[in-house]
Amino acid sequence: MASEVAKVAQNVEEKSAGGLQRKLGLSAAIAISVGTTIGSGIFSSLGEVAAASGTALFVILAFLIGGLINIPANLCYAELATAYPENGGQYIYFREAGSRPMAFLCGWISFWATDPPSISIMAIAITNYLAYFVGFSPLTMKFIAVFLIIVFMLMHLRSVEGGGKFQTFITAFKIVMFAILIGVGFFYFSPDLMSAKPSGAEAVPVGILALVAGISATTWSFDGMASVCYMTGEIKNPKKTMPRALIISGVLITVLYVLLSITITGLLPIDQLATSSAPVSDAMAQIPGIGSAAGSLTAIMAIIVIIGSLSSCIMFQPRMPYAMAKDGLFFKSFAKVHPKWSTPHISILIQCAIAIVLVFASSLSDLLGYFTIVALLKNFLTFGTVFVLRRKKSGYHPMWKMPMGYLMASIAMIVTATLIVSTFMWAPIPGIISAVIAVATGLPAYYYWERKNKQAAV
């Protein structure tokens, strides 16, 4: 086994990633993971977690436990990424687990229903915060969103190294901003607010149920850490870099969220926090000297935070259709690598073009949001591939194996299953319709490309 792992590691270092080159180091890998995860959601999720938890202590514990239970998912991805150190993420893991149809459906859903909409939604979110300072017409906001998409598209088209450096910079910048807020907030922290009970406490869930509800409300705040797995084929020394990047990202995000939750609950009464639509802004307003400027400062923070997420998504998302095209399961042009820039330029261009169309069809973007439950099912089944692949008699030689592998994979599946159930209860009919659409459109497309592959092989 050791010799097989050594051979895999040697082959990884000797060969480029199918036309793409390994140019990204540990800092860029962490930046992609952290930059994707810490987005605009944290500006509202604190209030949602407070409403579900009922007490300041449970808000803090919810983020702590929420982060800890997401670490097994990162460990699963670290093992899978070192077993198959190439671009494509989940698509690759399903393919190697022996299910090409599932692998195709994974990429098909990502391309049409989840990835481009996320780009358009984030671009629009940035313009919404910009509108806090300058009054824009709805049409002007859409054109600004398009401009932002084009700017980052061009950056990631021209250089994966340049994109990685920018991603590292903007992610470090957003972390520093949160660190300053936490540091300043601690100076005006009120321990009394930590122990205070909300008014009307009899209507608030208590005990373990409140804590579980709070943990459930944090789950989306941790989503996105595995995004770096889309680009494993462009990561230097994946044997060491991928596990380190995923573990460090999980710990860093958890620590940041826990410290932020301590600061916010120490500045804002829990009942006010639970009903706030802008908890970070309301908490900042409690700091002497900030007051009315809190809204402006929060808008600036949000713009920088979402820019990091937008850049990251434009950088990593096109790598999955690129991997599919290399296998003959997508349009051939998506597998092209620019001879000068060494980036999958066609995949990047088309994905951003679809996102631009969605900017002008916001109702369609909202509709595609119902595919969330399908995306969660992908995650659930991805963790299940660990059980399948570890039982393979040959061909599975991860360069890094997670400790207590089956237990970690089981925890990751349980956490994801909880999300699936809660999401299904929120929108059961749209969830079912989305799943039917995904299969009804995906399977015919899969068999079309497979038939073309067989004809080409004859």
Distance between CA atoms of 330 and 333, rounded to whole angstroms?
Answer: 9
Nearest to 68 by CA among 263, 222, 236, 182: 222
- Contact status, residue 39 vs residue 170, Cβ threshold 8 Å: no
Helix, strand, or coil here: 97?
Answer: coil
Q: Kindly report, residue by residue over 388-430, the tens digit of the pLDDT.
A: 999 987 788 999 999 998 999 999 999 899 888 877 776 778 7
Nearest to 88 by CA among 333, 406, 391, 382: 382
Going residue by residue through the chain (458 aa), what tens digit of pLDDT does each one get?
Answer: 555 554 555 555 545 445 789 999 999 999 999 999 998 778 778 888 888 888 888 999 999 999 999 999 999 999 999 999 999 999 999 999 989 999 999 999 999 888 998 899 899 989 989 988 887 888 999 999 999 999 999 999 999 999 999 999 999 999 999 999 999 988 888 877 766 666 554 445 557 778 888 888 887 889 889 999 999 999 999 999 999 999 999 999 999 999 999 999 988 888 888 888 788 888 888 888 787 788 888 889 999 999 999 999 999 999 999 999 999 999 999 999 999 999 999 999 999 999 999 998 866 556 556 677 888 889 999 999 999 999 987 788 999 999 998 999 999 999 899 888 877 776 778 778 888 888 899 999 999 999 998 888 77
b (16+ CB within 10 A) / e for 56-67: bebbbbbbbbbb
What are the domain boundaries of the chain?
2-369+377-414
Nearest to 172 by CA among 303, 35, 37: 35
Distance between CA atoms of 12 and 394, rounded to whole angstroms?
Answer: 18
Helix, strand, or coil here: 235?
Answer: strand
Q: Dihedral of CA 385/391/394/396: which sign?
A: positive
- What's the whole-model pTM score? 0.90
Distance between CA atoms of 172 and 445, rounded to whole angstroms?
Answer: 41
pLDDT value, residue 286: 86
Q: Residue 292 has what DSSP assignment?
A: G
**Amino acid occupying residue 381:** L
Helix axes 294-316, 345-359, angle to 10 degrees: 140
CATH H superfamily, domain 2-369+377-414: Amino acid/polyamine transporter I (1.20.1740.10)
Neighbours of 241 (CB within 10 A): 25
Distance between CA atoms of 53 and 94, rounded to whole angstroms?
Answer: 37
Nearest to 251 by CA among 10, 421, 71: 71
Nearest to 157 by CA among 343, 22, 29, 21: 343
pLDDT value, residue 17: 47
